[in-house]
Amino acid sequence: MPSIAKPIAQHPSLKKNNLGLTVRDYEGTMSTLCAGCGHDSITAAIVRTFWELSTPPHMIAKMSGIGCSSKTPTYFVSGAHGFNSAHGRMPAIVTGANAANRELIYIGVSGDGDSLSIGLGHLSHAIRRNVRMVYVIENNGVYGLTKGQFSASADIGSKSKRGEANRMSPIDPVMLALSLGATFVARSFSGDKEQLVPILKAAFSHRGLALIDVVSPCVTFNDHVGSTKSYLYSRQHQYKATESDFVPPASEIVAHIGSANGHISEATSVTMHDGSVVKFRALPDGYDPTDRQKVFSYLQERQGKGEVPTGLLYLDESVSDVHELNNTPDSALTSIPFEKLCPGNAELQKMLEDFR
C-alpha cells in the first residue's frame, strides 16, 4: 500500500469545526485505489463525518483487515492510530482493543470478502458481543485486491467480468446482522454521501456495534453490465427505505428540514445512548425501525422485488455493549494503576492457606 503524501497547504478560508480543525485535518495520505473506486467516496464521507462531529483525531482508532477496502484507513485522519491487521481478523482485534480501552472511538473498515468469508465468524461474534464500534463493509461483490473473484455477497445471476454467472446464494450482511441480533443496521451506497454521512454520525453515537453495509462499486472488476454491484445497477435499484437525520447531544431538537410538520413525532425519533437523537423522516407506511420482525419482513419483501433498500434500517439502543456485559469500569482498563491490579504478597500468603 504505497502511501503518497498530500500537500499540506490549506486554504485559509476553509471552515473550522469546534476543535478549530478544517476538513483537511481529517484527511489521510493520497488514495492509491483505482480512479473511480467506490471505496474512495466512502473515505470522503468518513472524513466529512469526523470533521462535522469534531472528533479529536487522537481518540480515533482506525481498524481494518486486508483488501482494497481495508487499505482505506490510511486515506483518512492521519492524526489517528491505525491498525491494518490480517484478512478477516479485524473484528477480533477491535474486540480486544475495545476491552482494554473503551474510551477510543473505533471505526472498522472491511470488505465483503474480509467480513463475509474469511472473517464471517468474527463479524458474527462481534455483533453478538455488541462491541462498541462503527463497522463499515465496503461491499463490491468481489475480491478487489485479488483481482475479481466472486465474494459471498455476489447475487445469484450476477455476472463476473468474464461473463460467468454466480449461482450460489449470497450472504446479505444486513439480513445476517438482523438475524444475529445486531443493534444498529444500515445500508447505503458509496455514491450517496447525503445519506451516508448522517448514518455514520448516528453510528458513532450508538451504544454498541453499528453495522453499515455500503454498496461500493469496484470499477475495475465489477462495474459491467450484468453485475448487481455496479454504479448503474445500484443507482437504478437503490430504494431509500428510510431517511434519517442526526441531532448531536445537547443540541435542541427543533424543526428540521424534511421532518413532517416541522416537529419530530415520538414514533420516528430514537434517543441514542449519549443523548443525541436520530430522527427518521418519511418512513414508509408501517415501517418501524425499532421492530426487528417488521424490518426483516419489509426488507425481504422489497428485496424480493429486486430493490436494494437503503437507510438506517434498524436501531435498538436498549442492548448492553461488551463492557456493560462484563461489568467493567467506565474508564479504560489500561488506566488502572498497577498497584490496584496486583493484590500483593500479604494477600497471596493468606490465599495460599487454601493450598495446604
- Residue 107 interacts with ligand SF4 (CB under 6 A): yes or no: no
- Piece of 133-141, 197-205, 271-279, 305-313 that binds Mg ion (CB under 5 A): 133-141
Inter-residue contact 206 to 273 (CB < 8 Å): yes
Applying CB under 6 A, among 124, 151, 166, 190 the residue interacting with ligand TPP is 151
Rounded CA separation 55/104 (Å): 11
Applying CB under 5 A, among 27, 52, 112, 223 the residue interacting with Mg ion is 112
DSSP-based three-state secondary structure for 27: strand
Rounded CA separation 257/246 (Å): 12
- Residue 191 interacts with ligand TPP (CB under 6 A): yes or no: no
For residue 265, what are the contacts with CB-CB under 8 A and spacing of at least 6?
Answer: none
- Residue 31 interacts with ligand SF4 (CB under 6 A): yes or no: no
According to DSSP, residue 104 is labeled S
Rounded CA separation 258/267 (Å): 16
**Can you say how many angstroms the Cα of residue 174 is from the centroid of all Cα atoms in its chain?**
12
For 5: left if phi > 0, alpha if psi spans -120 to 50, otherwise beta; the answer is beta
Q: Least distance in Å: CB of 130 to other proteins? A: 13
Residue 342: exposed, middle, or buried by beta-carbon count in 10 A (0-12, 13-18, 19+)? exposed
According to DSSP, residue 7 is labeled P
31-60 footprint of other proteins as x/- string (CB under 8 A): -------------------------xxxx-
Q: Least distance in Å: CB of 143 to Mg ion? A: 6
Q: Least distance in Å: CB of 45 to Mg ion? A: 18
- Binding residues for ligand SF4, rule: CB under 6 A, are 33-34, 37, 39, 68, 140, 144-145, 218-221
- Binding residues for other proteins, rule: CB under 8 A, are 1-3, 56-59, 61-62, 73-74, 78-86, 89, 91-101, 103-104, 121-122, 124-125, 129, 322-323, 326-330, 332-334, 336, 338, 340-345, 347-349, 351-352, 355-356
- Binding residues for ligand TPP, rule: CB under 6 A, are 66-69, 87, 111-114, 138, 140, 142-146, 151
